[in-house]
Amino acid sequence: MKQINIDEYYSFGCTCCGDCCSGNMKIHINLFDLFKIAVRLGFSSTGTLFSANLIKLVQGQNGAWIPIINFKKKPFPFCPWLINEQGDDDVLRGFCSLHPHDKPLVCKMAPVGRVADLTEGTESYILTAPTENCPGMVVCEENRLSVMKKELRQELDFELRFFAILEKMEGMPQESYKKLYLLDCAVPFEKQLKDLESAYEI
Ligand code: SF4
Ligand code: SF4
């Protein structure tokens, strides 16, 4: 899929077609996403997201186990938080039941992707179509990267710190990752993140 570096302005307008919330999409979840979704659903621990089969682990870069949304399989693959509604115009639209605050960062940012280099301490942002035929990519709506980064400042920071923990965990067994993803919903997220950073000497 074609990727374009973004400096500031980019053109995009989601039409809520729902394509990127169904099919063979792999939606990666970060540590704070797990926490906020579990809190939203009234769970006492993020572990319930796994036992309820809403989230599963897949092995990604450098052998790290990463959580992804476990799409429902029938009648077709779709995200468990996708809601389809037929409007008065008879068009079927897809909405996210976690919108706007509790959906994963990657969904909030789409079609913007983040490329972070922890070694160099640099990052860049790219425009990448969520699906091959995403109709939002041809909608002429002006968006600003600086506005998005300001709105998502805390979540972007949490994600970078999550990446730093993953880097430290390279080569560890799956059990260690399962432990990492077990958060207590009654304890503030940042406190748990700081405890993990101490444990991994970051
Ligand atoms: S495929 Fe594009 S237009 Fe459709 S819901 Fe996803 S981001 Fe929006
Ligand atoms: S969490 Fe929401 S935006 Fe993300 S894939 Fe699921 S329904 Fe779509």
Residue 1 has pLDDT above 60, yes or no: no
Over residues 82-139, the pLDDT tens digits come to: 999 888 888 888 999 999 999 999 999 999 999 999 999 999 999 999 999 999 999 9
Q: How far is the CA of 50 from the centre of ligand 2 (A)?
A: 17
Q: How far is the CA of 96 from the centre of ligand 2 (A)?
A: 5
Binding site membership of 161 for ligand 2 (Cβ less than 6 Å): no
Domain presence at residue 202:
no
Domain presence at residue 201:
no
- How many structural domains are present in the chain? 1
Contact indicator for 39, 189 with CB cutoff of 8 Å: no
Residue % of the chain over a pLDDT of 70: 99
Q: Which of 26, 81, 83 to mutate to test the pocket of ligand 2 (most atoms within 8 A of CB)?
A: 81
How many whole angstroms separate alpha carbon 31 and alpha carbon 35?
Answer: 7
Query: Is residue 189 very low, low, confident or very high in pLDDT (cuts 50, 70, 90)?
Result: very high
What letter does residue 62 receive in the DSSP assignment? Answer: G
How many whole angstroms separate alpha carbon 12 and alpha carbon 127?
Answer: 10
Over residues 18-48, the pLDDT tens digits come to: 999 999 999 999 999 999 999 999 999 999 9
Domain presence at residue 52:
yes
Full domain range(s) for residue 21: 3-196
Domain presence at residue 119:
yes
Residue % of the chain over a pLDDT of 90: 91
Over residues 136-145, the pLDDT tens digits come to: 999 999 999 9
How many whole angstroms separate alpha carbon 34 and alpha carbon 50?
Answer: 10
